[in-house]
A and B are shown apart, each in its own frame.
Chain A
């Protein structure tokens, strides 16, 4: 097995996630794309852990899983709040930051 086959798989997933973040207008879908990005990072960590023969990468992969869980929890709470206030979760509507 090459190192690169895992790394490039992760890169592909990452870029698909980036596309999703940019292209989607539904907030839940954007969160899902972010999950893709996080998973690709995890894949990298595990691959490097095997390559370097240390378990440190595993520890941080676990930490990332935990952070992702927290992120999804808060993110969905935000989405819920937005939905309650606006009856919509389209991200275009959240443009008070407009310059």
Chain B
């Protein structure tokens, strides 16, 4: 348990640091790379939480596909890659009180709600078969809806982005 806690601490620290960098650096490409760090950290947390299939999907889809999309998007919309001065808008300071207030409220709720509740120890890893049984069983309808969303997204992206 100690080992897990230590792993959690290190990964969490890296994630928070990475996330802060994502929203503060002045270079879009660097921000994307910091985001990779956060996403990889999230994958590590999933492994700690006995969710290996989700972790693998996270790596494949997020780090593999979504990040590539981001980098492409950056390259297609920027003539040059490099630091820019004005990545924050004028009212950026509004974000500080909003997010701090939000964090305070959520933390308050969590602490009063879950307190020192422990996660179950040595829980079995959730197998892929279990997940697929759920997806193609009780949650088939959302799965269909999701397939439809993806289809529409593909069509929509093509319609929006094509040159005509």
Q: How large is the interface on A (under 10, 10 to 19, 20 to 34, 35 or more residues)?
A: 35 or more
Interface SS of B by simple majority: helix
A8 touches B87 (CB 8 A): no
Q: Which chain B positions have C-beta within 8 A of A8?
A: 107, 110
Q: Which chain A positions have C-beta within 8 A of B70?
A: 28, 31-32, 72, 76
Q: With an 8 A cutoff between CB atoms, is A98 at the interface? A: no
A9-B12, A13-B15, A23-B95 known; A91+B160 contact, CB < 8 A: no
Q: Which chain A positions have C-beta within 8 A of B123?
A: 50, 53
A-B contact pairs, 24 of them (CB 8 A): A1-B48, A3-B114, A3-B119, A4-B111, A4-B114, A6-B8, A12-B16, A12-B103, A15-B99, A20-B22, A20-B95, A24-B87, A25-B86, A28-B73, A32-B32, A39-B42, A47-B49, A70-B149, A76-B73, A76-B157, A77-B161, A80-B73, A80-B77, A83-B77
Binding site for B on A (CB under 8 A): 1-9, 11-26, 28-29, 31-33, 35-36, 39, 42-43, 46-47, 49-51, 53, 55-56, 58-59, 61-63, 65-74, 76-81, 83-84, 89-92
Closest 10 CB pairs of A and B: A22-B95, A70-B153, A20-B23, A25-B89, A23-B92, A77-B160, A77-B157, A76-B73, A15-B103, A23-B95
Binding site for A on B (CB under 8 A): 1, 4-5, 8, 12, 15-16, 19-20, 22-23, 28, 31-32, 35, 38-39, 42, 45-46, 48-51, 53-54, 57-58, 61-62, 65-66, 69-70, 72-74, 76-77, 84, 86-92, 94-96, 98-100, 102-103, 106-107, 110-111, 114-120, 123, 126, 130-131, 134-135, 139, 142-143, 146, 149-150, 152-154, 156-158, 160-161, 163
